[in-house]
Each structure stands twice: as C-alpha cells, then as structure tokens.
C-alpha cells in the first residue's frame, strides 16, 4: 500500500486541479490524482477487504450480484466497460454496498433484507456505480486535498463513503477524522447525482426504475422511521428523496420498456 500512498501524496502536492462538468451538469473540481492512481487504490483496497473480511461462498448470492452488476456495466460508456469489473459479497448484516474506482463492487449480505428483488438490488448497485462514473471519488479527494494531508485523504474518502472497513483497508491506522468535517457537507449533491445516474442506468439495463422507490420505502421501514443505514446517511431527507425518485421513475418507464423490447431482460433472481 505504501507506493500508492506515496504516489497519492506526491500527486496531491503537484497536480493542478481541473474543472469539469458532472453527468447532471454540475461543476466539478477534479484532478488531484490520476485515474490510474484511483483505479490502483480501488483495486488494492478491494483486495485487502477480501483478505480481511468474510466473503460469502454462497454460489447463488454471488451469481445474483454478478448478474445485476454485469447487466448494468453493459450500459456504461465504452471506456468504462473496458475495465475488468469484479464483484464480491461480504458477510455482514449491515444493509450496505459500495463501488470503487477500478471496477470493484461490494455488496453486504444485509442488503438482501431490504432489496427484495432484482430490480431493487439493481437500484442499489446502479447508484454505487453511478458514483464511480460521475468521478465522485476524484472530486472528493480533490476537495479534501485543499484542507488536509494526502495520507488522511485516502482513509477519509473511502471511510466516509463506505464505512470503517474500507477506510481501514486503504490506510491501516490512518486518520479519517476529516470525514465529519470537509467531506460530508458536500456529499449530498453527489448522493443525489448518483441517484439520477443510477436510476437512468438501471432503466437502460432493463430493470424497473420504479423499484428505487420501493427500495427506499423498505429502507425507511427497516430503520424504524429513523434515517437509514450508513451507506445512505448523507442523503437528503428520505421522504423528499422518495418523491424525486418517483417523479424521475415515471419519465424513465419508456426507457425501461424500450430496453425490454430490445431484449435487455435481466433474469438475475
């Protein structure tokens, strides 16, 4: 891990930031690290997670997740499809999921309690992949680079989004205190944007975009009316979000129907 951290530290210090436009038209500041470095960090972190946490050996669970991931990846831009996408199921009761640069997708077994069919699971996974293709990791690191050291950046950017397991896998013993200060206040835009991108992706892959609404309703019910689990803790108000998802879903139904007519009819589980 040291070579990655050293490279990131150097990159944060010497790389000029760039301005780009997100998939929803939002101005982004990126470029503190290169895409190859982000991919390398994602790959390394994922490998460490698999070595340190219990990975499900349930063939049905793994095939289910892989099927959903594959269907969504087929709708990504060509350059994103060329990445060697990989998924893993981690045995953990938290209703959690994540995606990392380099094409790594992790799903915790707890998500199966709230994502009750393939369309709802697709809503989770497409949202997480949306973060990757919208360059949200690059954006977070670039923002954080202006406020703290590069070594803290690595743990904070992964830990704040995906929990201590990923953060600790990225930086053993590293500080992730910045997650509560600099990263989280700016994350709601990214979360809302990942909702937009993810719902579009799931519809074009042949998954019912209305299932994103059902997923959120299940999340709220599972939380007992409190704010949902960690992976969604930085979202806007749940009820407002349901309204936004519902409104977008109606506009995406024609895209979903077209995808089904074109033969994109996932049968994952």
Helix (H) or strand (E) holding 21: strand 18-21
User: Pairing relation of β-strands 27-30 and 18-21?
Assistant: antiparallel
List CB contacts of 230: < 8 A, sequence separation 6 or more.
94, 96, 163
3-state secondary structure of 246: helix
* Cα–Cα distance for residue pair 250/223, rounded to 1 Å: 26
**Total H helices, total E strands in the chain:** 11, 5
Query: Catalytic annotation on 86?
Result: no
With tokens 């490998």, the residue in question is 47
- Of 43, 86, 128, 164, the active-site residue reads 128
3-state secondary structure of 106: strand
End-to-end CA distance of the chain: 37
Catalytic residues, by residue number, are: 128
């Amino acid at each position: 891990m040291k070579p990655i951290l050293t490279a990131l530290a150097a990159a944060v210090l010497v790389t000029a930031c760039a301005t780009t436009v997100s998939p929803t038209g939002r101005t982004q500041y990126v470029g503190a690290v290169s895409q190859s470095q982000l991919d390398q960090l994602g790959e390394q972190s994922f490998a460490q997670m698999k070595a340190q946490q219990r990975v499900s050996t349930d063939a049905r669970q793994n095939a289910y997740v892989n099927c959903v991931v594959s269907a969504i990846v087929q709708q990504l831009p060509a350059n994103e499809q060329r990445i060697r996408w990989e998924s893993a199921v981690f045995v953990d009761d938290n209703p959690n999921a994540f995606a990392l640069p380099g094409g790594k997708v992790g799903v915790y077994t707890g998500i199966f309690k709230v994502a009750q069919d393939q369309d709802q699971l697709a809503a989770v996974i497409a949202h997480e992949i949306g973060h990757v293709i919208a360059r949200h990791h690059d954006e977070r690191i670039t923002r954080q680079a202006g406020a703290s050291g590069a070594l803290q950046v690595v743990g904070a950017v992964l830990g704040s989004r995906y929990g201590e397991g990923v953060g600790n896998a990225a930086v053993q013993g590293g500080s992730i205190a910045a997650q509560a200060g600099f990263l989280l206040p700016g994350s709601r835009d990214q979360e809302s944007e990942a909702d937009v991108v993810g719902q579009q992706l799931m519809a074009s892959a042949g998954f019912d975009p209305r299932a994103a609404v059902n997923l959120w309703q299940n999340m709220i019910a599972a939380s007992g009316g409190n704010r949902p689990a960690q992976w969604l803790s930085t979202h806007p108000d749940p009820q407002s979000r349901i309204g936004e998802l519902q409104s977008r879903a109606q506009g995406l139904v024609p895209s979903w129907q077209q995808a089904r007519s074109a033969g994109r009819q996932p049968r994952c589980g």
